[in-house]
Amino acid sequence: MLTKVKALLATGRISNLPTVWCNCLVAVLIILHTSPSSLELYFSDFQEYPIGVFYLVASALILSSTLLYVGGCFLGDAIDFKFDKKYKPDRPIPSGIISRKFIFRASWVMLFIGLLLPIWFHLTPNPTSSYLISLKIANYSWQQMTAVPFLFLVIVLYSIFHKRYPIVGLPLIGLCRFFLVVFGASIAAWLTTRYILTDQNVETSITESYFTLPIIIYASAVCLYTICFASVARTESSDSPITWRNLLRYTMLALPLTLLFTNQSLQVETITALVIYARWLSYAFTFLDTNKGNCVSKCLAGFCLLDACFVAQFGWIWVIVCVVLFLMALALQKIAPAT
């Protein structure tokens, strides 16, 4: 029984979940701090704002992103059965520890729940303070919901094609993280949607856009970071050396500097986060020749340190949160491998 549980955890790559949550957290913080309805203004406007809404948002983000990520990992391993049987026979499915049929079915269940939950979430009115007209008025914000099917689609496409067409796999895995960020931003945009009563006593809503420049820049940095370490991961089963190491190193080290395009000043918090990120990546690169898998695992945990660079502008507390999630990812890698 314990062996099967460990196999399921490994198949779902649960050690990477803290990085998924961290990406979503950063997206939410960027929207709440940079949109016209900033966090401070938001609370000043909504004196009776129920704190339970924040718990609702956090729960929806964690549950949906977890289901979509684990479901995608399950689907990928179920589809890659023949490849793994030939090149990685010790993996849970080809070794017979868990059933391929069970993993395949479970993947679709998780993916569809992960897809439908945020759609239901967006169609539910935001229960905010005195501005709320009626809980019966649903927020049909189709713009906000577009992020969810796109994320679902790229996860499925990556799972199907990444082994058959490796050249397509790299951009697809990058897009998975890109739309994960956009998904987190869309949930935050729902949070800043307000219901108001017009002069003609007609219910209407003010909806914040989530596809803003700071989100695009952050999502693009996360996307490129993913493509960089995934280019190493796809050569794990080969002894061939990484010939693009310099391009890889300088690109990944430069990625957090893209935050300067959002007019962010280099505060002490930001500089500290940048130093921590650079030192960790430099350490991860020492394994590039001797142990590619170890290098990739460390880069995966490093997602949280990249995130810390982007949220440092919002205060030390968020740098600490990202570091805690980073340590959690490393701890979980002792239980289940990251790749």
Q: What does the chain come to in residues?
A: 339
Calpha distance 233→228 (Å, rounded): 9
User: 207 with 141: CB under 8 angstroms?
Assistant: yes
- Which residues touch 78 (CB under 8 Å, ≥6 apart)? 93, 100, 103, 104, 107
User: 325 with 26: CB under 8 angstroms?
Assistant: no
Cα dist from 106 to 67, 77, 173, 229, whole Å: 10, 12, 21, 28
User: 215 with 185: CB under 8 angstroms?
Assistant: yes
Q: Tell me what pLDDT residue 186 has.
A: 85
User: 170 with 232: CB under 8 angstroms?
Assistant: no
Widest CA span of the chain, in angstroms?
Answer: 71
Cα dist from 244 to 75, 173, 227, whole Å: 30, 19, 13
Output the CA torsion 225→17→266→38 (10° steps): 120
pLDDT, tens digit only, all 339 positions of the chain: 778 888 888 889 999 999 999 999 999 889 887 765 444 444 444 444 445 556 667 787 899 999 999 999 999 999 988 887 877 888 888 888 888 999 999 999 999 999 988 877 666 655 544 333 333 334 445 556 678 889 999 999 999 988 777 788 899 999 999 999 999 988 877 766 544 434 444 444 445 567 788 999 999 999 999 999 998 888 776 667 777 888 899 999 999 999 888 766 788 999 999 999 999 999 999 988 888 889 999 999 999 999 999 999 988 999 999 999 999 999 999 998 878
User: 264 with 247: CB under 8 angstroms?
Assistant: no
CA R_g for the chain: 21
